[in-house]
Structure 1
Amino acid sequence: MTDFDCDVLIAGGGPTGVTLAVLLARRGVKVIVAEKEADIYPLPRAAHIDHECMRILQEAGVADEVMASSRRASRYDFLNAKGEILMRFEGSEQVGPGGWPLANMIHQPSVEDALRRSLATFNTAELHSRWEVKSFAADADGVLAQVATPDGSKTIRARYLVGADGARSPVREASAIAFDDLNFEEPWLVVDVLVDDYSRLPSENLQICNPERPTTCVLMGEGRHRWEFMIKPGETAEQVSEDAFIERLLEPWNVKGAVRMERKAVYTFRARIAAQWRKGRVLLAGDAAHQTPPFAGQGMCSGLRDAANLAWKLAAVVKGEAPDALLDSYQPEREPNVRATIEMAIMMGKTVCITSKWGAFLRDMKFKLARKLGKLPDGPPAYPPISTGAILEGSAAAGSYFPQLIDNEGNRLDEQMGIGQWLIARSELASAKLAPFRKPLERWMDKSGVEAVLVRPDRHVFGTGDVAELRSAWDDQTRY
């Protein structure tokens, strides 16, 4: 069977699935998104997007709109029960290597709406609500999926199926892919509010490391704020979700009359990674492939990074420009980054989630000593670069993240260079296209000690060195 309804069928129309669909459609790939819900979930979930993921949203055509309604905090504080600083991350409003502010607090439904409107502009893409992938069978050439729709069962033939269908992923379950449990599981109450008076709310993001009730307090998109409260042993989801209970939790914040409750929900924060992200013609992305506690704000970001890594590879393969084996690099490239973000989130979570007074006392003493000795980090650590996969291993800066430079007029390098791979040689920096970015490009090349760099479509460095050798190495890895 060789007749295809689409090149890529994506199960799940959340931010990961729709971002992947937009990036594929921009590359001329025919894509169908099957989303089982009737509409976007209307209440907030993810609250944070970092600079790298804003760059991904830029490629998807929605960054300016998302930025317009996002908010920024100047710092992220971890405080003990007395309000003393245990750890402080500053400068999150500054522009990061991705060309956007380091940390952006968002309203997820607005982000999803912008992504869907962007997807609708492509005639090679379809998003169908109330469509659910019920079963599928893969063969050497593609996947045959049975999809439940409002008009009855429908058969979809695709070259590849991507399960971006959430933590409970039916695609992952049907593929018999196990999870590696990283042994973090904590139930929390999430309370989202609409804000009427910002002057009575904190302007920074906070982790309150109080053993009586560990608490998170963070900004969200325009007009909103969030609290998260750890649920104590013996408390039930029903009990902590009662309005009167929540009012008591908010009393110490003195925000009565300044906020109105929008959502309350109980979540169990988990840390897990799927054992396989690819099984033949079936791939996993986002929460279907990995789940992270929220303390580092990397849950949705990790899914967007999956989409960016996978999009250019799937496009090259389905268009006959690269071998199917290129997709084997997806998990080896992404998993180390995901594990590092999850480990960071677990470290933060274990710092916050201490409920023993003695344990909290020891933690506080440890942090005070480290602070005096200057041993505390002043920000989240840099996550590991790509160390293996579709890169020229052994060349300087291979696998590192290539910055998005901004010229004096505010123009961004990505917009000038386009969505494909870039081969930038020092000898061509005076060209009309590169001249506005010449000085920072020279500084980057000087620092790396190179004459040319080949940057992948997901803006990681493929390799550096001689121009002809870079072209040849790229072709060897990404061409038939």
Structure 2
Amino acid sequence: MRVVIVGAGPTGLLAANLLGQAGIETVLLERNLDLTDHPRAITIDDEGLRICQAIGLAEEVSEHALLKRAAHYVSRGRYLVKIAPTQQPYGYPQISTFHQPTFEAILLKGLQRFSCVQVRFGCHVKTLAYDDHGVILQLEKHSGNIEELHGEYVLACDGGRSGMRQHLEIPLHPTRFWHLLDPYSHQSRRSIRSERTQRWLVVDTVDDMPTLSSIIFFCNPARPAVTVPAPAGGRRWEFMLKPGEPEEDLLSDEAITHCIQQALHTLPANERPTSSSLANKTIRKTMYTFHSTIAERFAAGRRVFLLGDAAHQMPPFGGQGMNSGLRDASNLCWKLQLVIQSTAAPRILDSYQQERLPHVIQMILFSSVLGGLIMPTHPLLAGARDLVLNSIHRIPPLRRQLTDMEVKPQPHYRSGFQISGGGPWTGKLLPQPHILLRDGQRQLYDHVSGNTFSIVRLSNNPAHDFEPFMRGIWRQLAVHCIALRSTSFAPGQIAASERISEIIDESGQLAAILQHRHDLFLLARPDHHCMGIFPITKLPHVEQALAAILS
């Protein structure tokens, strides 16, 4: 077997779809007998939906989601911050909510498209060992039978309590703000083991408050709380436990109803919905301990890789836990494809940790900061927070940064699989505007560029301008050429090659990235991150650098 994926959660299911799409022989193992029947993650962002687009499932996922939600922070009857992004730089709303069992079912059904992918439920990995060709897994099946499975590569997507991570003896470390300066400092500060954790009660209910259509963070020092509208008439409530508070004190319907009423009292008086009894409305209630931890390393021997919660865990306040796992799979799977298909050397797999680790740390700390806004329980600290946020709200540029969620860390890889000298866009995720095709259709950009390497140029003569990219390493990589026209399509003219697509970007975003210059070309990766922008005179340098990366 080429690739073995352990864990059929969102990250593992996505990775299986990406590898299946690439025609890679893959087996997906799950120790349980079926997918989870209860929701854990509840928010998906624009990057997550764009990744679902890459496997052809974004439309179906969107049909079962509540798209374009706002997030409000409220305290003492006043709104502190209203986050309501209006822009969709990556083609999708920046905040949406979803039902995880439905999401996983869509991903599992998507695997039926690929004969090269097997799914095996009721299989638990007992041990792992290495040989010259990969990894040997000893599996215990639900029947009690033991068997061995060999895989060239193993993706551990088995969650926060990852058995695979424990087999590999890779420790978790708490994440601190100094990791922003040195992402690898968690590997050297072995003496610092304490982790700040926080217990929360999570309750999924039938929604009887349709007027609360936004995600609301109740910044109430008496009991910080969150409510999230869910698809299909659902609603999630989350309540912070006080230090030393017994969990059983909050698990009754009466206690939960009191917590809900206490949270609603934080809203402005004219916006408070009435809260009825929870009788026959509770779907699930459970205690969670929120962590801010990261694995000491994301890989073992270029053979086994940790993804998702197996590699990192973060508070839920930024809605980035599952989305970070989706980014992990999107980053790694195309690199595995290059290696398995002998297009690149295994050392390119080192860029997985090199790229993902710093970004994950940013997301953990971003989520921790958002949690810090709602969790103060001392009245003086809560009052100071309200004062600071109210002051920020009076400054238009700062208010806009919060409202449009510009404070969220952007997907920018500053080192890894990229070419030096490519300018400020190197490592950044490219925007995804709607583009116009020759036949008059308007589509999202990725539908045209596809999940492969691509070259983008301003060009009104594609046959001439892309001729250098029809041979050599570009042909080897099956690079897709995108001719960005600055004028309307010439009547009757057709593209000179199947590898060339002509588009018009009416938003002007792509032309602006190219500085409106016809002598520049942009090289993009299969995950739509920019490898660099170069003048055509630097083409030999780029070819040599790309060959060096791959060889």
TMscore range, shorter length:
over 0.9
Q: Partners of 1:404 and 1:245 in 2: how far apart?
A: 46
Structure 1 stretch displaced more, 365-374 or 134-143: 365-374
Q: CA, structure 1 residues 187+475, in 2 after alignment: closer, same or farther (shift >3 Å)?
A: same
Does residue 263 (structure 1) correspond to residue 332 (structure 2)? The answer is: no
Task: Specify the code of the residue in structure 1 equivalent to 2:385.
Answer: R
What is the match of residue 436 of structure 1? 504
Which one is further off, 416-425 or 439-448? 439-448
* Counterpart for residue 135 of structure 2: 143
2:453 aligned to which of 415, 418, 421: 421
Q: 1:164 aligns with which of 141, 157, 162?
A: 157
Q: How does 1:88-167 map to 2 (within 5 A)?
A: 88-91=82-85, 94-151=86-143, 152-167=145-160
Task: Report which stretch shifted further, 387-396 or 110-119.
Answer: 387-396
SS in 1 for 2:77: coil
CA displacement at 1:233 relative to structure 2: 2.1
Give distance in 1, aligned partners of 2:543 and 2:96. Answer: 37
User: What is the distance in 1 between the residues matched to 2:165 and 2:347?
Assistant: 21
Give the % identical residues: 32
**Max radius of gyration: which structure?**
2
Residue range with higher mean Cα deviation, 13-22 or 221-230: 221-230
AA paired with 1:403?
Answer: P
Query: Aligned partner of 2:503: which letter?
Result: A
AA partner of residue 173 (structure 1): Q
Farther off after superposition, 167-176 or 234-243: 234-243
Distance of 2:140 and 2:126 partners within structure 1: 7
Distance across 1 between alignment mates of 2:503 and 2:215: 39
CA contact (8 A) 1:190 1:267 kept: yes
Q: State the secondary structure of the residue aligned to 2:435.
A: coil
* Shift, 1:324, TM fit: 0.6
SS across alignment from 2:160: coil
Indicate the residue corresponding to 2:260 in structure 1.
250
Counterpart AA for 2:201: L
State which drifts further: 171-180 or 295-304: 171-180
Relative to structure 1, is the Cα distance of residues 46 and 139 closer, same or farther in structure 2, using a 3 angstrom cutoff?
same
| Aligned length, in residue pairs | 469
Q: Deviations over 1:238-288 (max 9, x none)?
A: 221222211222235423269821111110011001010011111100000
CA contact 2:68–2:93 (8 Å) conserved in 1: no
**1:422 Cα deviation from its structure 2 partner:** 0.6
> What is the distance in 2 between the residues matched to 1:398 and 1:142?
33
Map of 1:465 onto structure 2: 534
Tell me the residue number matched to 1:323. 345
Pick one of 15, 18, 21 that aligns with 2:16.
21
Deviations 1:116-169 (A, max 9, x none): 000122011011111111110023420011011134111111101111100011
3-state DSSP of counterpart to 2:136: strand
Distance in structure 1 (CA, Å) of the matches to 2:122 and 2:45? 31
What is the SS of the residue equivalent to 2:107? helix
- Aligned partner letter, 2:55: A
Amino acid at match of 1:111: F
Q: Is the Cα contact below 8 Å between 2:69 and 2:95 reproduced in 1?
A: no
Matched residue, 2:433: 405
The partner residue of 2:371 within 349, 366, 371 is: 349
Cα deviations by residue, 1:344-377 (Å, 9 ceiling, x for unpaired): 1100111111111121122222222333345453
Shifted more, 378-387 versus 122-131: the winner is 378-387
Instruction: Identify which of 204, 209, 218 aligns with 2:219.
Output: 209
Give the match for residue 84 of structure 1: 78
CA distance in 2, matches of 1:474, 1:7: 25
Q: Which amino acid aligns with 1:193?
A: T
Q: Is the 8 A contact 1:47 1:221 kept in 2?
A: no
- Among 408, 421, 430, the alignment partner of 1:394 is 421
- In structure 1, C-alpha distance between the alignment counterparts of 2:357 and 2:115, rounded to whole Å: 33
* CA–CA distance in structure 1, aligned partners of residues 444 and 27 of structure 2: 31
Alpha-carbon distance in structure 1 between the residues aligned to 2:152 and 2:286? 38
TM-score normalised according to structure 2 size: 0.81
Q: Distance in 1 between matches of 2:275 and 2:68?
A: 19
2:491 equivalent in structure 1: none
Gaps of 5+ in 1: 1-5
Q: Secondary structure at the match of 1:344?
A: helix
Instruction: State the Cα distance separating 1:188 from its structure 2 match.
Output: 0.3
| Structure 1 Cα separation of the partners of residues 69 and 117 of structure 2 | 39
Aligned partners of 2:205 and 2:320: how far apart in 1?
22
Any residues of structure 2 matched to 1:298-337 within 5 Å, and which?
298-337=320-359
Amino acid at match of 2:60: E
Q: Distance in 1 between matches of 2:517 and 2:54?
A: 26
Do the aligned partners of 1:193 and 1:224 also contact (CA within 8 Å) in 2? Answer: yes
> Counterpart of 2:348 in structure 1: which amino acid?
L
Q: Could you tell me which residue of structure 1 aligns to residue 67 of structure 2?
A: 72
1:311-354 alpha-carbon deviations (Å, 9 max, x no partner): 10111111211111010000110111111111111001111111
Change (3 A) 1:186 1:448: farther
Distance 1:155 1:105, change over 3 A: same
TM-score by length of 1: 0.93
Q: CA deviation at 1:446?
A: 1.5
**Contact map agreement 2:458 2:517 (CA 8 A) in 1:** no
Give SS of 1:446's match.
coil
Query: What's the counterpart of residue 3 of structure 1?
Result: none
Contact 1:77–1:89, Cα closer than 8 Å, also in 2 = yes
Give the secondary structure class of the aligned counterpart of 2:133.
coil
Q: Judging changes above 3 Å, is the alpha-carbon distance between structure 1 residues 154 and 423 closer, same or farther for their aligned structure 2 residues?
A: same
Preserved contact between residue 340 and residue 383 of structure 1 (Cα < 8 Å): no
Q: Which amino acid aligns with 1:85?
A: Y
Deviates further, 9-18 or 235-244: 235-244
Alignment partner of 1:41: what SS?
A: coil
